[in-house]
Amino acid sequence: AGRLPGLRVRSAALGLGAGLGFGVVTLAVRLIPHLSPGAIVTDPATYALLLAGGAGFLLLTSALQHGSVTIATAAMVLGETFGPAIVGVVALGDRTRPGLAPLGVAGYGLAVLGALALVRFGEGGAPPDPAPIDHVHPVTVDIR
């Protein structure tokens, strides 16, 4: 199913959407201040977590139905890392250890390049032909 170019793009787009949903989950978990029942029920981040997690799950299953696992998963990895990383640095004050920012940027860049390479080149060859069924014999089991 994932061999046609349109289906590849659709699978990648759905995977990216799923990744963004899962990224919202990671951010929402960080924003819940306390794990007391009252705080969980009244915090909007709890509902963002539930909605984004459900949407991410539905988008990922749809992506897997429309294309290859490799394309959908690689796009999902991009979505679930890029968005939360930007929000973490810009809005939540995430920082690297002193002097390690170039290493963090390089590692992140390599991860993104790897995911992009999987989206572009990761689909394997044709699946092997199924075994012929003319050699299959029924088995009987005597249960007493």
Please check whether residue 96 lies inside any domain of the structure.
Answer: yes
pLDDT digits (tens, 9 = 90+) for 112-143: 888 778 777 766 666 666 666 666 666 777 78
Residue 103 pLDDT: 93
Please check whether residue 68 lies inside any domain of the structure.
Answer: yes
Q: Into how many domains does the chain fold?
A: 1
Please check whether residue 98 lies inside any domain of the structure.
Answer: yes
Residue 115 pLDDT: 79
DSSP letter string, 94-125: --PPTT-HHHHHHHHHHHHHHHHHHHHH----
In 3-state terms, what secondary structure has residue 41?
helix
Please check whether residue 133 lies inside any domain of the structure.
Answer: no
Residues of the chain with pLDDT under 50: 1-2
DSSP letter string, 17-37: HHHHHHHHHHHHHHH----SH
Residue 124 pLDDT: 62
Could you tell me the residue range of the domain that residue 62 belongs to? 5-121
Please check whether residue 39 lies inside any domain of the structure.
Answer: yes
Residue 1 pLDDT: 40
Residue 9 pLDDT: 87
Please check whether residue 32 lies inside any domain of the structure.
Answer: yes
Residue 90 pLDDT: 93
Please check whether residue 126 lies inside any domain of the structure.
Answer: no
